[in-house]
């Protein structure tokens, strides 16, 4: 199955503005997600409320990446939408 990863403009901006250690941690988390989607350290789970239909993974300390999965003719697309601290995302 084909898998594509995309980033929203907001996510891309947030990631570029992050410290190098956060960018590295996200890269590591993304690689783990692509090889073992439910690895315990990712705490990959469905969200409710404001982000219903989205998923969240751990990135670094209390930083989370919010993404959604879509399926199309070519396979699955993971679209990363928001990067932020838990208290900012889930007020």
For 21-51, write each residue's pLDDT tens digit. Answer: 999 999 999 999 999 999 999 999 999 999 9
Query: Above pLDDT 70, what percent of the chain?
Result: 99
Per domain, the residue ranges of the chain are: 3-89
CATH-assigned architecture of domain 3-89: 2-Layer Sandwich (3.30)
pLDDT band at 83 (very low <50, low <70, confident <90, very high): very high
Q: Are 83 and 63 in contact (CB under 8 A)?
A: yes
Tell me, what's the pLDDT at 86? Answer: 85
Tell me, what's the pLDDT at 1? Answer: 63
Specify the pairing of strand 3-7 against strand 45-46: unpaired
d(CA 41, CA 44): 8
Tell me, what's the pLDDT at 45? Answer: 96
Mean pLDDT (the chain) is 94
């Amino acid at each position: 199955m084909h898998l594509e990863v995309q980033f929203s403009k907001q996510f891309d901006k947030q990631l570029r503005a992050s410290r190098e250690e956060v960018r590295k941690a996200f890269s590591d988390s993304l690689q783990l997600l692509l090889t073992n989607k439910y690895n315990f350290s990712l705490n990959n789970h469905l969200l409710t409320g404001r982000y219903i239909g989205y998923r969240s993974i751990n990135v670094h300390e209390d930083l989370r990446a919010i993404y959604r999965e879509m399926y199309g003719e070519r396979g699955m697309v993971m679209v990363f939408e928001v990067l932020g601290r838990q208290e900012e995302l889930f007020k």
